Structure formats: structure tokens, C-alpha cells
Amino acid sequence: MSLSNSDQQVLNRVFNPEMPYEQSEAAAGQPLSDTELEIADMTEEERDRLSESKKLEVEAIHAIERGDLSGGLDSLNRCVSLTPHRASGYNNRAQALQLRGDRRGALDDLESALRLSRGSGRVACQALTQRGVIRRAEGRDDEARQDFEAAARLGGPFAKQMLVEMNPYAALCNQMLREVIGQLSRPSDSAEDCSS
């Protein structure tokens, strides 16, 4: 399975929270997740489980990037089993399930990610965006718009872009602009008359 550049960018946005690109915008001003705040209070065993869980997420990303979606899902399943209180594992597994075509499973995991993240932080922003994409694909535009609005409030640049795209006035303006640019780019008869 070969991933398109767009698919690769989506995977990077979802699976690589440490990437310095747009996600830094999404994370700006966001509180630390509960897991990050509680690390200091964890036992050594709990920290080891968290560390293993994060390794499994990275393993899953690499497997999916190689085209091994099944192997990636196996790693994400182990990640969620190991740390069922972490929203990130559910969010990442939802993306993999979506790539497999399992929208129902993806939506279930996104609900878990949103519940565990309490609707705030980077994971919530990503989960809301993913859910918005699924709902839009299902023709549930009002619900998708609500998800994109919530994700945009959390700083999600892709969600902001989707809101502009879904705005009927913006779509009309874009169509009119394309028509004007198209007319301007075609040589006109009057321009030929002026050159003689």
C-alpha cells in the first residue's frame, strides 16, 4: 500500500505530536494533558507502561508508513491495552482504522479520545478534526462544522481551513474569483487590436 503525499501529511499530523510544523500552532497555549501532568505522580511501573505505550505508537507509525496497516493496528491495539487511560492511543488507532475503512471503529475510538482528553489539548484537537472529516464524508455537514469549530478553537489549522472551505459564501467567492482569473488569463480580442 502506497500512501499519497496528502495521506502522509495527515498521518504526520496525527501520529507525530512532536513535529515542529503546524502542530506547534495547534498546541500553542494548550494545557498539558492529564498524562503529562500526572507523570511526576506515577509509580515506576506506570512510567514504564507509559514509555512502552509511546514506543508502540512510534512502532505503529513506522509500520503504517511502510504500508503495513495490519501491523500498525496491532501495535496500536497493544498500546491501548497497555494504557487505556491515554487519549492519544485511541486517537492514533482511529486514524489507522479510518485508513482501513472502518469508520464506525474510528468514530468509537475518537469518542474515547475526546472523553479521556476532556475535549481539550492537542489530542482533542486532532480527534475533533478527524471526527469532522468522517462526518463530512458521511454528509453530516452540520455536525462536521461543529467539530471543526471546536478544533479551530483549540488552534487546529486544518480545522480552520475546513471551516473556510465549508462556508458557502467563501465557496461562492472562490468560484467567482476563479472565473475572473480565468477571463483575465485568456487573451482578449481587444488586446490583439491594440497590438496592431
For the segment(s) 45-180, the CATH number from 3.40.50.1110, 3.40.605.10, 3.40.50.2000, 1.25.40.10 is 1.25.40.10
pLDDT profile of the chain (196 residues), mean per 10 = 57 47 38 53 85 92 93 95 93 94 96 94 94 94 94 91 81 77 72 48
**Burial class of residue 144 in the structure, from the number of CB atoms within 10 Å of its CB (0-12 exposed, 13-18 middle, 19+ buried):** buried
Cα–Cα distance measured from residue 31 to residue 196, given in angstroms and rounded to the nearest whole number: 67
Task: State how far the Cα of 84 lies from the Cα of 69, in Å rounded to an integer.
Answer: 21
- pLDDT score at 57: 92
What does the domain layout of the chain look like in residue ranges?
45-180
What is the predicted pLDDT for the residue at 153?
93
Per-residue confidence (pLDDT) for residue 179, from 0 to 100 = 84
pLDDT of residue 10: 57
